[in-house]
């Protein structure tokens, strides 16, 4: 089975369209999204509509949850979020807010006798950062019941073997933090003969289009810069 795992689109429709074209070329069996469809970017309704139209299996991210709550419940109260949260709440159509509200928080699958757990942040908290060399990541992987943990939220793709338990972070489609304005996602090739192979892909896109949209809408300069540079 061939699975594409995507996350952290953050209302960037141009990055999503470009990435889905690459995924279609990969001829995957299914796509799984780990959340944060909205926040930061200017196209929340368009992104949700595309995810729904493509019938992409999706779980809820921390920014999705805060937008549903209209509170800083799962995001930090920063100058950028003080703009982005109310802007997204006001922009989002009610049907799309209800869609986000009803998304599950985790997904568990058994494929080829391996148990997979898909989360946005961590198995413990939707907004917990799991970096591959973090002490909290090591503790979570020690106690993990499943064979493979797939997460996101950090916007930094990586994979690591923890004594036979596999940690995978698929990175970010729409707002990377890799120092480049490119989308990242991962492909899982799983079969009984070869086990599992993990490929992390980095895909460039025409980021100037979203920069133009954000500028026209008077988004804060630091937020625009983060999309352009691929950094916080």
Report the CATH number at residue 106. Answer: 3.60.21.10
Let me know if residue 63 belongs to a domain: yes
- Quick one: which of 155, 204, 227, 213 has its CA closest to 7? 155
Each residue of 112-135: pLDDT tens digit?
Answer: 999 999 999 999 999 999 999 999
Each residue of 166-203: pLDDT tens digit?
Answer: 999 999 999 999 999 999 999 999 998 888 999 999 99
Question: What are φ and ψ of residue 34, in 5° steps?
Answer: -95, 20
* Rounded-to-integer distance, Cα 62 and Cα 120, Å: 8
Each residue of 56-104: pLDDT tens digit?
Answer: 999 999 999 999 999 999 999 999 999 999 999 999 999 999 999 999 9
Residue with tokens 């279609």: 24
Let me know if residue 121 belongs to a domain: no
Let me know if residue 81 belongs to a domain: yes
Proportion of the chain above pLDDT 90, given as a percent: 98
Let me know if residue 151 belongs to a domain: no
pTM: 0.96
Is the Cβ–Cβ distance between 187 and 24 less than 8 Å? no
Structure tokens that stand for 166 in this block:
């596999």
Let me know if residue 51 belongs to a domain: yes
- pLDDT at res. 194: 83
Let me know if residue 202 belongs to a domain: yes
Let me know if residue 167 belongs to a domain: no
Proportion of the chain above pLDDT 70, given as a percent: 100
Residues 6+ away with beta carbon under 8 Å from 73: 65, 66
Print the domain residue range for 28: 2-110+172-229
Residues 6+ away with beta carbon under 8 Å from 210: 12, 13, 14, 15, 41, 42, 43, 227
- Residue 32's H or E segment, with its range, is strand 30-33
Number of structural domains (the chain) is: 1
């Amino acid at each position: 089975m061939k699975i594409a795992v995507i996350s952290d689109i953050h209302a960037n429709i141009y990055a999503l369209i470009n990435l889905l074209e690459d995924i279609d070329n990969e001829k995957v069996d299914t796509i799984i999204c780990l959340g944060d469809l909205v926040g930061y970017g200017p196209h929340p309704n368009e992104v949700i509509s595309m995810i729904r139209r493509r019938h992409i299996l999706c779980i809820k991210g921390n920014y999705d949850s805060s937008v549903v709550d209209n509170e800083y419940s799962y995001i930090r109260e920063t100058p950028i979020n003080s703009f982005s949260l109310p802007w997204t709440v006001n922009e989002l159509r009610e049907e799309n807010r209800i869609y986000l509200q009803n998304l599950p928080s985790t997904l568990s699958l058994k494929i080829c006798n391996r148990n997979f757990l898909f989360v946005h942040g961590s198995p413990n908290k939707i907004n917990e950062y799991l970096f591959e060399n973090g002490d909290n990541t090591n503790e979570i992987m020690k106690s993990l019941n499943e064979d493979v943990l797939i997460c996101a939220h950090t916007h930094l793709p990586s994979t690591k073997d923890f004594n036979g338990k596999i940690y995978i972070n698929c990175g970010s489609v729409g707002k990377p933090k890799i120092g480049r304005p490119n989308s990242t996602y991962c492909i899982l090739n799983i079969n009984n003969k070869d086990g599992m192979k993990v490929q992390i892909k980095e895909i460039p896109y025409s980021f100037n289009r979203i920069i133009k949209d954000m500028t026209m809408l008077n988004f804060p300069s630091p937020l625009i810069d983060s999309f352009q540079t691929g950094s916080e």
